[in-house]
Amino acid sequence: MSTAKRCPPFRAEHVGSLLRPQELVQKRYDVAAGKATQADLTPLEDKSIAEVVKLQKDAGFHAISSGEYVRHMFWGTFFEELNGMKELQLGVMKGYDASIFRPYAPDVKSFFESKEVPNQVTVCVGKISHPGHSSNQREVDIMKKQVPESEWKNIKITIISPTWYHFRYKAGRAYPKDVYANDEEYFEDVAKAYQEELKILHAQGIKNIQIDDPNLAYFCSQAMLEGWAADSDNDKTADEMFDAYVKFYNKCFERPSDMHLGIHLCRGNYVGSRHFSEGAYDAIAKKLFQDLNVDTYYLEYDTPRAGGFEPLAHLPKHKNAVLGVVTSKFPKLEEKDEMISRVQQAAEFVAKGTGQSKEDALQQLCVSPQCGFASHAEGNALGYEDMRKKLQLVRGVADAIWPGQS
């Protein structure tokens, strides 16, 4: 297989998180419970990452991740390590309670219906600024040992979306009023923190960043939109908020010209292979593809809940879409020929929108699983060998559509 195409996105991609060995999951729980120390966990992380890097290389992947093995959850600790942010627990939140959440935010709604605490409660308590060191530093250091220096630029580092601790909170509740008077002030400081993070990573040779973002896809959910419209606290319509988010993201994503930045949009990925929302990309496609300053879109396309490929007609010629047609949620292996056919169908819509040939449109496309295999510690409802087969299938589909391309 040729390696002529050696820059992201690659024809065969995955979304970053991979199933963790049970031993690693348990050891992290032991550390949290005081039954083990970080010194006990570190060598196990190193060993597990070396093994999962080998898995990716053996499967023919070039954008190699750590499997997110140094994290417990997909969002990592970017916000938690910013100055001005504080991680809290419901019940001991000192002035905060469950009423701060938007009850119609799809993930929050799901947690409340199951009577679970929302999976992360981190709030702004002061002026936000970057601490001067990357929250991804350990991951970067480990990964640099796993691949030659010439490949450092392709290491995939995933970062949580800028709205992660804004969208889930009711209007004006994401920050204290005596700290930020409005969203614009809050967004300005968060954007500076993202810019600094990207600058630090780039200086270390890391040039392949993926933003993990369920929130923008939630604007495709009719149930969420109805909840938003009924919320008298909102001072913006859903369309106005989406526009404000795009402007905010573009400020966050200011970066060196040789840094590839992609954004992964999904509808939730939780323990037991749950999802949180449904709805096609149609409602947001034009603004998403044409106004958002990213290079690549990693899109969920494994089930009808994501809609059809029609929105890809809005994809500009200078951008890429990685089609998540293979599910990471369940073990049943898709039919290779069907996946090839689906990618070919998607190319027809890209071609229709850009006025180019289907063959040229295919050059803007890649293929992947629709989401991570283990966004949360325990992972989805499939096994390690199932995951290996899924990755091999993605590679096989890519080789059939783009022979000789990496």
Q: Which residue has the higher pLDDT, 332 or 106?
A: 332
pLDDT of residue 1 exceeding 50, the answer is: no
198 to each of 17, 19, 130, 349, how far by Cα in Å? Answer: 20, 26, 11, 33
This model's pTM is above 0.75: yes
Model confidence at 98, pLDDT cuts 50, 70, 90, reads: confident
SS3 label, residue 114: coil
Model confidence at 114, pLDDT cuts 50, 70, 90, reads: low
How many whole angstroms separate alpha carbon 397 and alpha carbon 406?
12
Question: Quick one: CA dihedral 384, 38, 76, 142, positive or negative?
Answer: negative
pLDDT of residue 117: 57
pLDDT of residue 272: 58
Model confidence at 375, pLDDT cuts 50, 70, 90, reads: confident
Model confidence at 274, pLDDT cuts 50, 70, 90, reads: low
- Please compute the mean of the pLDDT values over residues 368-383 and round it to a whole number: 91
pLDDT of residue 2: 40
pLDDT of residue 120: 65
- Please compute the mean of the pLDDT values over residues 114-143 and round it to a whole number: 88
Q: Which residues contact 229 (CB under 8 A, 6 or more apart)?
A: 237, 238
Name the average pLDDT for the chain. 92
How many whole angstroms separate alpha carbon 96 and alpha carbon 87?
12
Structural domains of the chain in order of their starting residue, each with its CATH number: 22-71+130-168+184-401 (3.20.20.210)
Beta strands in 343-392 (DSSP E): 365-369
Q: Which residue has the higher pLDDT, 307 or 2?
A: 307
How many whole angstroms separate alpha carbon 302 and alpha carbon 48?
28
Q: Which residue has the higher pLDDT, 358 or 72?
A: 358
Model confidence at 91, pLDDT cuts 50, 70, 90, reads: very low
Q: In what order do the strands lie in the sheet with 296-300?
A: 156-160, 208-213, 260-265, 296-300, 320-326, 365-369
Query: At residue 91, what is the residue type?
Result: G
- Which tokens is 164 given? 């992660």
- Please compute the mean of the pLDDT values over residues 319-331 and round it to a whole number: 95
- Which tokens is 359 given? 């063959």
How many whole angstroms separate alpha carbon 129 and alpha carbon 133?
11
Q: Which residue has the higher pLDDT, 119 or 239?
A: 239
pLDDT, tens digit (0-9, with 9 covering 90-100), for 21-42: 999 999 999 998 999 999 999 9
For the chain, percent of residues with pLDDT exceeding 70 = 92
pLDDT, tens digit (0-9, with 9 covering 90-100), for 222-253: 999 999 999 999 999 999 999 999 999 999 99
